[in-house]
A and B are shown apart, each in its own frame.
Chain A
């Protein structure tokens, strides 16, 4: 089971406009890669290029040792010779074939003997709980059932590379949860290399072993879900991954008060002043509310705030506050005992602060400081700074 490599891939449908630009991507053997990004960022295009249904304008695509596309060498392997499996967003079941015939089709193309074909198709349908509908036509199935047929159709041929384009986006919430587990199970069982496209960050976080976040045709970050969550490489990733999204606080200029300025001061006191146009960030679940100053631990970043509204979601509480006039969100899994208008102090541990430079890229200096701090090379809390609360 092979690595999938995209090397310097460009794709433009219209001359001068790139749907995908200078894409370098390695999907490890047996991995489960989610391509994550907002609509129109080039995820489907990337997936279709891997399948061979779309051709790059520049670059190479290889799977294992096999070169599938090479614009430089003039080499192209058509989709039917790539032996991959693909699930379309619209499912694309063949309306004139029964479920069984849909599932068997790939095996038929591979010239599998009839007996074996029937058995493998039956297994695939069994696995996805659609054996009861074997004789029906796609139009006689619900959306969820069609989805299962599409998956079974792919599974029946046991491909080494499975490509899925937003397979869950047309399902209702409950079904989506169920199918998420199903797809994860399929991956674990088959050891295939899976590439799944989604715009739903939760889907990516829960299923994938690797996540690639794309934006406007360019890769913003690649890493494990935890890496992407804990160390987002850019403001874009920070805001796209996680729900509710990360609080981002532009530093602004020195004389403008705002939560960003307090972060800048806090960082400055420890590792040097960050650039004025940078951004600080803290996840809502890492941001804490203290009702009294005494409750705030030593050495953490802190800022005063006023409670706006409390939004209980059942399992958690989301609180909207205003800090120097800017809205910030706190997510808490313990009940929040507060009322709108209450004056509180917000705080977050240094290790929960994210610092981005003027281009929105993550700054390594801060990360290095945190690493050193963790390994004991630095005092746990830097010099005490009146962090913003004095303003």
Chain B
């Protein structure tokens, strides 16, 4: 009998295979990585970003801890040696109150105030627009985002134009002309700053909160109701817990923004010496106290990091809820019944207050001699078009007649355009490397490094760059005052947004279209040129336009880094404010707003998308 429980004979001996030595494996891996430049580009990006983000922060810390040039007698040590002098000066000295503690408490007060204001306004508007049958929801959904597209200090200028009193010089306010003497607390300081910043930032809450509301399936609430919960119990036990993460996220983002905002506290705080951290930082730099500035900037960075870290924790929490989101929640809107039209009125009032009133006020102020007087003989176009305005010594002509405007406009378009272009391309490149690199470690590192600038409020970044590039460092010459520096800073601060959208665009594309081209014989550059870029045209356009729009309105960064030789639209308008030429300043802001609107509108037409939702800057 045959022995049958023997397994099938082994396969014939395999053809000779090269034994895999450790060295061979390493060489193989290297060959694979170097077969195309993705890896090298990735490494280069990590190094460049690392330098551009980390080096300035190191410079801040080093400046804060070393005796600055010219401070040697006061610090009692030679320039360059380690010292605790600046820490003492900022935190403990007799002037620490005005340098740091007051600005800090003002920042906290304003931050909380703005958060409350923005949450109440943005939250209620979000609820009205997404969960009720208020008339004109579609219009409101777009209109209530508009304030976010205006430069943030538009509201501050409009406020001054309305409520200014005779404490500060220059053109009087509307109320002043009408004989009403506004109290200081209404004209300057905390109250107006909170209101104007709140008007600027509520769309932020409106968008984030609205998205969360939209994602919540009304069936969840209904299930609770069916199980016997009354309306407010359903709200408390089901809806609110689901909304909380996005709400706190919005709150922290607003806080982060307020921390780094400069224009509004500068305009509304200066007349009563109401300083926030950002303006205190600016003042220290302006009065050439780089050591003190470095300490304040470091504090701002720390606070910014704190806010983002908390936010990241909460966003992680929020992700747990995302799967809960169902569809078709919108068709079950709360019927407001007889409150429909009053609610509509309220929403329109918010729109009018936050968009129409400021813009109309500014516009009127630029075409009248005496503000607030609407008689035919009081109207004039001279602030726009006059050949010469002798009484305005610093800016003796109508805005449109001045070469300065066109120079500033050209500078803005050129510099912001360049930064936006760099930002969009680099963002897509980051996305490409993250999605395609065969090395997981590299793509992870790059993703994290490109996110770093998000941690640092813009104004602290600018201060850091100032510190870093005011003098030559190693092979890098002093870049202060150059266009290059502005382009680099603007690009870097917008990098997190453009990388994020680049990554998601590349991930969405998947790798197969490119692989198909690769198998067909296309080398790396050909693939990039013929496959990736054409397919990503839309994403690239958005990736360029978003930084461009937000860069046009950017003030806190450029105020630190521009010099008289490269004025931008935003710095021009702040200069005019400094001079007290209210009409021309307002006109300049209107031009910025108009530019920003036009570009946004054209961009939306071109990309057929709603850019507002992606506006990050």
A94 within 8 A of B: yes
Q: Max chain B CB contacts within 10 Å: which of A5, A8, A275?
A: A8
- Chain A, residues 72-88, CB within 8 Å of chain B (1/0): the string is 11111011111111101
Taken together as a complex, chains A and B put the C-alpha atoms of A359 and B8 apart, in Å, by 11
Q: A76-B35, A92-B513 are in contact. Are A85 and B519 (CB under 8 A)?
A: yes
Q: Are A364 and B4 in contact (CB under 8 A)?
A: yes
Inter-chain contact A53/B515, CB cutoff 8 Å: yes
CB-contacts of B505-522 with A (<8 A):
510, 512-513, 515-522
| Number of A-B residue pairs at CB separation under 8 A | 157
Q: Nearest chain A CB to B28's CB is how many angstroms away?
A: 4
Among the stretches A102-110, A118-126, A294-302, the one at the interface with B is A102-110
Contacts of B76 in A (CB 8 A): none
Instruction: Write the A353-377 contact mask toward B (1 if CB under 8 angstroms, else 0).
Output: 0010101011111101100000000
Given that A7-B17, A8-B14, A58-B20 are known contacts, is A365 also in contact with B5, CB under 8 Å in the complex? Answer: yes
**A-chain residues with CB within 8 Å of residue B23 when the two chains form the complex:** 74
Chain B residues closer than 8 Å to A153, beta-carbon distance: 516, 520
Separation of A92 and B518 alpha carbons in the complex (Å): 12
A60 B3 Cβ-Cβ under 8 A: no
List residues 81-129 of chain B with CB under 8 A from any CB of chain A: none
CA distance A359 to B523 in the complex (A): 48
Give Cα distance in the complex from A90 to B512, angstroms.
8
Given contacts A76-B35, A366-B4, contact A94 B521 (CB under 8 A): no
The answer to whether the Cβ of B167 comes within 8 Å of any Cβ in the partner chain is no
Contact A110 B521 (CB under 8 A): yes
Task: Give Cα A79–Cα B520 distance, bound, in whole angstroms.
Answer: 8
Contacts of A60 in B (CB 8 A): 17-18
Expressed in whole angstroms, the Cα–Cα distance for A90 and B514 within the complex equals: 13
User: For window 38-74 of chain A, which residues contact chain B by CB distance below 8 Å?
Assistant: 51-53, 55, 58-60, 69-74
Q: Does A96 contact B (CB under 8 A)?
A: yes
Q: Report the interface size class on chain A.
A: 35 or more
From B1, B11, B517, A105 is in contact (CB under 8 Å) with B517
Min CB distance B370 to A, Å, is: 59
Assess whether B11 is in contact with A70, with CB atoms less than 8 Å apart: no
Question: Are the C-beta atoms of B3 and A73 separated by less than 8 Å?
Answer: no
Q: Is A24 an interface residue (CB 8 A)?
A: yes
Distance (Å) between the CB of A169 and the closest chain B CB?
A: 15
Which residues of chain A have C-beta atoms less than 8 A from B11's C-beta?
Answer: 24
B513 surroundings in chain A (CB, below 8 A): 92-95
Report the contact-size class of chain B (Cβ under 8 Å from the partner). Answer: 35 or more
Q: Which residues of B contact A361 (CB under 8 A)?
A: 7-8
Q: How far is the CB of A47 from chain B (nearest CB, A)?
A: 11
Q: Is A233's CB within 8 Å of the partner chain B?
A: yes
Q: Mark A100-138, 1 if CB is under 8 A from B, else 0.
A: 000001100110000000000000000000000000000
B2 beta carbon closer than 8 Å to chain A: yes
B27 adjacent to chain A (CB < 8 Å): yes
Q: How far is the CA of A55 from the CA of B35 in the complex (A)?
A: 12
Would you call B392 an interface residue if the criterion is a C-beta within 8 Å of the partner chain's C-beta atoms?
Answer: no
Contact partner of B24 (CB less than 8 A), chosen from A74, A96, A271, is: A74
- Output the residue of B1, B27, B519 with the most chain A CB within 10 A: B519
- Are B516 and A364 within 8 A (Cβ)? no
Whole-angstrom distance between the alpha carbons of A365 and B2 in the complex? 6
**Chain A 299-335 interface mask (CB, 8 Å, partner B; 1/0):** 0000000000000000000000000000000000000
Residues of B contacting A72 with CB < 8 Å? 17-21, 24-25, 28
Asked if B474 is at the interface (CB within 8 A of a chain A CB), the reply is no
Partner of A51, one of B18, B28, B519: B519
Flag whether B31 is at the interface (Cβ < 8 A): yes
Q: Determine whether B228 belongs to the interface, using a CB cutoff of 8 Å to chain A.
A: no
Interface: B32 (CB within 8 A): yes
| Residues of chain B lying within 8 A (CB to CB) of residue A71 | 18, 20, 24-25, 28
How does the 8 Å CB contact mask read for B535-578 relative to A, with 1 for contact and 0 for none?
10100000000000000000000000000000000000000000
Is A195 in the interface zone, CB < 8 Å from B?
no
Bound-state CA distance A82–B521 (Å) is 8
Chain B hits for A86, CB < 8 A: 515-516, 519
Interface residues of B in 481-539 (CB under 8 A from A): 510, 512-513, 515-523, 526, 530-531, 534-535, 537
Residues of B within 8 Å of A88, CB to CB, are 512, 515-516
Q: Which residue in chain B gives the minimum CB-CB distance to A55?
A: B32
Give 5 CB contacts A-B under 8 Å.
A59-B17, A75-B28, A109-B526, A272-B1, A366-B4
Question: Which residues of B are in contact with A by a Cβ distance under 8 Å?
Answer: 1-9, 11, 14-21, 23-28, 30-32, 35-36, 438, 510, 512-513, 515-523, 526, 530-531, 534-535, 537
| 7 new A-B contacts at CB < 8 Å, known A79-B518, A88-B512, A361-B7 | A71-B24, A72-B28, A73-B28, A74-B31, A75-B31, A93-B513, A109-B522
Query: Which residues of A are in contact with B by a Cβ distance under 8 Å?
Result: 5, 7-8, 24, 26, 51-53, 55, 58-60, 69-76, 78-86, 88, 90, 92-96, 105-106, 109-110, 153, 157, 233, 267, 271-272, 274-275, 278, 355, 357, 359, 361-366, 368-369
